[in-house]
Structure 1
Amino acid sequence: MRSSLLIGLVVVVLGVFFYQMSSWPIQADAVPAIIRTYKGPQGGWPAPHLSEDVSHRPLAPLPDVEYPANNPYSETKEDLGKKLFFDPRLSSSGTLACASCHDPDLGWSDGRRRSFGHARREGQRNSMTVLNAAYYDHLFWDGRAEDLEEQAMTAIAGPREMNQGLDLVGEGIRDLPDYPRLFQQSFGDSTINAQRIAKAIATFERGITSRRSDFDRFLQGNRDAMTDRQIYGLHVFRTTGQCMNCHNGALLSDDKFHNLGQSHLGRPSEDLGRFLVTGDTSDVGKFRTPSLRDVTYTGPYLHHGLIFNLREVIDMYDRGMPQVIPKKEAGNPLYPETSPLLEPLDLSEREIEALLDFLEAISTRPRRMSAPELPGMERNDA
């Protein structure tokens, strides 16, 4: 009996060993050399695969957040912004808060394909996470806001979002206990208006950043912070996967706009992207590159939210993001031109698995945060 168990254990161990060896898309004796290279200084890593006109921005830990001169940081203002972020009384219905679509328990998004807004109207796009929003030069999928203050006011006033007139947004909280005092401490007097509400919310949001990941620890010198599979995934990410064309720098985003062939022209889900902001036909179908930090916690993916797992996203890129546009739209002047950065990659199954492992290494569960006690509102802890 004991010998049978021993034989069975040996078979299992050998099976795992050979499976792991077969999971590498290169010869087994070449694996240690690649791993050793990546465990050395970043300057000695293989050159990344970058398409023409794409500059090399090395991967790096996130820098400290910078606060704008016209909205400097204060602890009181951050505390006020947190309350306002969770307060549904900023909406016209009194039922929707910023946190309705940006829930800290759901990666600071809402886990839905498309968010619900005022009167349960479905939004047009997937709700982007506000994680690391402080680092972007443009906000929203189409970049229509240039800073977090503008983003907050746009969401409050949006008819598909909080649907509140900016001249009325302070009415629901002006006479509540604590709010006048917090505005006084944050801004020097107790005036409550849309601009100050937006500044307080933006101050709170700038503090919502990714925790340090295994990849950050790896970059900072702990070369044992990632597994060999994850290190090989980093290699695929930088080379054959061509991911660094758009996902680069500390944010793992170029903060630019690209057409991935997902405008769905001529279909019920049609979305022309940045073109709706600029009116420039060269922007048809373009959307902002999201950060990949904490990506395993921020699904669903793409602006339409139709993709619920990262394997599907990688498969789409591997195929070159083929478009599905009705033939009748071929002569449409808004027919989108996909990014020249897209091309079939022909990744092996093993390379895809390594990429998925690397995406785990750059993801850390966002900080847990409970909703604050709101002025004039009884808290229900039941």
Structure 2
Amino acid sequence: MKLRVFTLAAILLGGAAASAEPDIAALKALHRRPASIPFPEAAPYSPQLATLGKMLFFDPRLSGMQNLSCASCHNPSFGYEVPVPGAIGATNTPLGRKAPTILNAAWMPVLFWDGRAPTLEAQAQGPITAAVEMNGKFPEIVGRLKAIPDYDAQFRRLFPETGASREAVLTAIATYERTVVAGWAPFDRWVEGSEDAITPAAKRGFALFAGKARCAACHTGWNFTDNKFHDLGIPTRDLGRAGVAPDEPGARHAFKTPGLRNLTYRAPFGHAGQFADLEAILAFYESGGIDRPSKSPLMHRFELSAPERLDLLAFLRSLTAEQTETALPNLPN
């Protein structure tokens, strides 16, 4: 990983030093899709486990009032987000942050905007048990699942030592979430050699993304995220990463870099949905954000011409795969 980051930095800095365009061929190689999904040794993939996890992901019976599921805030129709600034929880009021997508979460070393969950299993537990989110209690959830014959049979088959349990529920959900991978976008086909897969405008936009605009300083790799935390100078009272790691340098008002796949379906943008569309968040980035001691040194003001702005937007939209309908599971009674 360190070699990969160094290589990207060398490409970017080398292009800047020479006042030349970035090395597009090298950048293509850095943004090529991985060949397989990484699963932890302790929870290897099985289709039966992923199927169970998908059922649980869409089942509102995991919430305290049995009216909210994981999919309530991570809706496949909206890039596994929802089109509102703040997620809606158990109290039916908006929460302080937008629900982040679970697309490509298998490759994320930390989860949530502030990185407080080190694994998908830990991430899955957070919303289920949070009083302001799903407000579920695992003793009740496990009892409920054991009382449903089909669920009980699946858990006994997949977890013969324990049957349904908190750990089993979280393992199943995390296994399903790891299978939620963004489909092939026009950009991916271009990376693999299909020159006509994206427009000339999108190609120019990619050069701007990696060069003049320096978006790739944080939005790097095939999922377009460094999985690190940065204060972008967005006006907010939210401490961000500092609420989890107060002694970490640069943590105040810093949030995890989101991936950029399937952006077309994922508005609004920002950790609290502050930006209604791609045009709005691009305008903010051009402004450089507000100055404060914690602001990332990577965040700087820049200015694009109107044609350049359209090119950059064309590139960002080329990262969206064709929308396919997610088959909803039949939930057992």
TM-score if structure 2 supplies the norm length? Answer: 0.89
Q: Deviations over 1:165-220 (max 9, x none)?
A: 23332122211121011112222356211111000000001000010111111111
Say whether 1:285 aligns with 2:242.
Answer: no
The residue aligned with 1:322 is: 290
Q: For residues 309 and 86 of structure 1, do their structure 2 counterparts lie closer, same or farther at Cα, with a shift above 3 Å needed?
A: same
Amino acid of the structure 1 residue aligned with 2:140? L
How far residue 230 of structure 1 moved from its aligned partner, in angstroms, is: 1.0
Cα deviation code 1:141-160 (max 9, x no counterpart): 00010111000011111111
Per-residue Cα deviation, 1:249-289 (whole angstroms, up to 9, x for no partner): 1111001000011252xxxxx21101111122631101000
Query: Contact conserved, 1:259 with 1:336, CA < 8 A, in 2?
Result: no
Residue type at the aligned position of 2:287? R
Q: Return 358-367 or 125-134, whichever deviates more.
A: 358-367
Distance 2:328 2:201 in 1: 38
State the identity %. Answer: 35
Residue 203 of structure 1 aligns with an amino acid whose one-letter code is T
* Structure 2: stretches of 5+ with no match in the other structure: 1-6, 18-26
- Is the 1:73–1:203 Cα contact (8 Å) retained in structure 2? yes
Runs of 4+ in 1 over 6 A off after TM superposition: none
Aligned with 1:223 (options 195, 210, 214): 195
Give the 5 Å matches for 1:127-206.
Answer: 127-189=99-161, 191-206=163-178
Secondary structure of the 1:173 match is helix
Distance 2:76 2:258 in 1: 18
Looking at structure 2, the residues matched to 286 and 63 of structure 1 have their Cα atoms a distance apart, in angstroms, of 31
Confirm whether residue 77 of structure 1 aligns to residue 34 of structure 2: no
Unpaired runs of at least 5, structure 1: 1-42, 265-269, 324-334, 377-382
Q: Distance in 1 between matches of 2:43 and 2:127?
A: 19
Instruction: Within 5 Å, give how 1:1-382 maps onto structure 2.
Output: 47-49=11-13, 58-189=30-161, 191-262=163-234, 264=236, 270-280=237-247, 282=249, 283-322=251-290, 337-376=294-333
SS at match of 1:205: helix
Counterpart Cα distance in 2 of 1:366 and 1:253: 22
Is residue 157–residue 163 contact of structure 2 (8 Å, CA) maintained in 1? no
CA shift for structure 1 position 347: 1.3
Letter in 2 for 1:48: L
Equivalent pair of 2:156/2:164 in contact (CA under 8 Å): no
Query: Residue type of the partner of 1:58?
Result: L
Q: Which structure has the larger Rg?
A: 1
TM-score, normalised with respect to structure 1 = 0.78
Number of residue pairs matched?
313
Distance 2:327 2:32 in 1: 30
